[in-house]
Amino acid sequence: MVLMWIIFILVIIVFLFFYSNMYFSFRFTYTSHQLVCTIEIYLYRLRIFQQEIKLDDNNEDNEIWRIWKDKSLQELIDVFQADCRNVFQKMGDLNCFVRSIFQKISVHELKWFTHVGTGEASTTGLAAGSIWAFKEVLVGFISNQSKIYCKPKIGVHPYFQFKCIQSTFNCIVSVKIGQAIHVFLKAMRKTSFRKEAAFIK
């Protein structure tokens, strides 16, 4: 009888664990000289993980900044647009898998503000319009595929008199632990399948 109660309690604990929500907080701050990324994970309102990643132009060993630091703002925008196209193309290639991930995510906060200026009115308007269009498409995709419990706040502020680029992105999402494990195992299975297919070829 005691053993049955122990098993019953363990089953309840496991059930509650797999149906518990794990919260992820992402904060990105980008300027022309530094990118700071902060990731936090919460379980039952307790922070169980925190990591801050900093990339800046003073770090000569950083490959990203060796490539980007000597580019003009217009060149950075052109590269940004090309990267965005590549991202959407890859998302299209992994359409089913990407959708299955986003469908299991609940969004509780989504804020994305960007300040941009090239020093010229024409190119600043073009840059601001391109960034705004990209944000609209990405936020629209997230809104259609995920459960949104907040009103997304996005903005692009153009500066016509001087050069600048700064962007802040804040996002809080949650996912049930059981669903997160399921997605992880599915990703591992898909990766191993692709490796086997490549090996056979």
pLDDT at 129 over 70: yes
77-127 pLDDT, tens digit per residue, is 666 666 666 655 655 555 566 677 788 889 999 999 999 887 788 788 888
Any domain includes 99: yes
Contact 153, 112 (CB under 8 A): yes
Any domain includes 10: no
Any domain includes 16: no
- Residue 106 sits in which domain range? 22-192
Any domain includes 93: yes
Per-residue burial over 74-85, b if 16 or more Cβ lie within 10 Å, else e, is bebbeeeeeebe
Nearest-angstrom CA–CA distance, 42 and 97? 25
Higher-pLDDT residue of 65, 140: 140
- pTM beyond 0.75: no
Any domain includes 187: yes
Any domain includes 109: yes
Any domain includes 175: yes
Any domain includes 96: yes
Number of domains making up the chain: 1
**Residue 38, SS3 per DSSP:** strand
Residue whose C-alpha is closest to residue 33's, from 167, 161, 123, 150: 167
